[in-house]
Amino acid sequence: MLLKKISIGGLKTPCNVFLAPLAGYSNAPFRELCSLSGAGLTFTEMVSAKGLCYDSAKTRGLLAVPEHANGIKACQIFGHEPEYIRRAAESEDLSVFDLIDINMGCPVPKIYKNGDGCALMNDLKLSSKIISACKKSGKAVSVKFRTGIVRDKIIAEQFAAMCEDSGADMITVHGRTRDMMYSGAVDFKAIAAAKAAVSIPVIANGGIFTKEDADITMAETGADGVMIARGALYNPWIFSEITGTPPQDKLGSVMKQLAETEELYGERFALVYMRKMMAFYLKGKRGATALRQKLLQVGSIAELKEMALSLGF
């Protein structure tokens, strides 16, 4: 794929290969791992706008940014009430962030039933008000959404135009409808239609697990860049493969991620979280199933470090 810088409002990314917001996973150490591997932009996992307005410590904890973090700092928020979106965007909690992404694509039932995430694609007027409210913060704003709610009603083109008209500086289109969740063929034509409908950058998302996938997605959609989600969970070094960034030592980067996760979030969280992450990283290794079972039985950070050393990655 053609690598290039992306202008988002007054911001400029070093390249056009991004890490998606990943609920439960894209914390600060993981984002740094992906950045060092070549990701041009990374996002926090989605946080509740209302939670920020009600001073939720749990919500604020998702926004941790290391002091040494460089580059554009981007977060993702969700909610369906413009006033809470505006207040969250203007809050002290988000003051460190340069770019705010609004989640209008999460298909999970709990989020959808509350009127958040992908549910906003049912109401373009409300979605427009939310984007406009977020823009009042003075920050760059992007929107992530899907091609539609159901497969027989694709609205990516109309939704993209609404986002631009409402002030969005960039959009990301996940090439599946809400009823498809995370499986099925990505609709390249719908992403291409969204791209043709606007002048702001359009990022294609969905089904990218290899460099070849990224190449095909760009060729088929004409998008300005790609955003990688689950592919990065299994292989955060995919950014190096796509961008040509000198590859990191995998074992060293896993050990660094483990140490930083423990430092930021404590031993208990680090143990549970890094067992899951290392299980993802085992994909493709011989005997991966048995190794994952062994990982789940690890009971301390010290044991986890020993296992990481033995696996080598």
Secondary structure of residue 90 in the 3-state scheme: coil
| DSSP state string for 197-208 | H-SS-EEEESS-
| 226: helix, strand or coil | strand
Residue 313: the pLDDT is 75
Q: What domains lie within the chain, and their CATH numbers? A: 7-243 (3.20.20.70), 250-311 (1.10.1200)
Q: What is the structure's pLDDT at 178?
A: 98
| Closest-CA residue to 204 (of 42, 20, 44) | 20
Concerning whether 106 is annotated as a catalytic residue, the answer is yes
Helix (H) or strand (E) holding 8: strand 7-8
Q: What is the residue-averaged pLDDT of the chain?
A: 95
**Contact present, 186 and 216 (Cβ < 8 Å):** no
pLDDT at 265 (0 to 100)? 92
From the candidates 53, 106, 134, 163, which is the catalytic residue? Answer: 106
Residue pair 205/229 in contact by the 8 Å Cβ criterion: yes
Sign of CA dihedral 291, 313, 282, 68: positive
DSSP code for 118: G
* Whether residue 125 has pLDDT greater than 90: yes
pLDDT at 49: 95
| Lookup: tokens for 252 | 């060293």
Q: Which of 5-9, 51-55, 78-82 has the lowest mean pLDDT?
A: 51-55
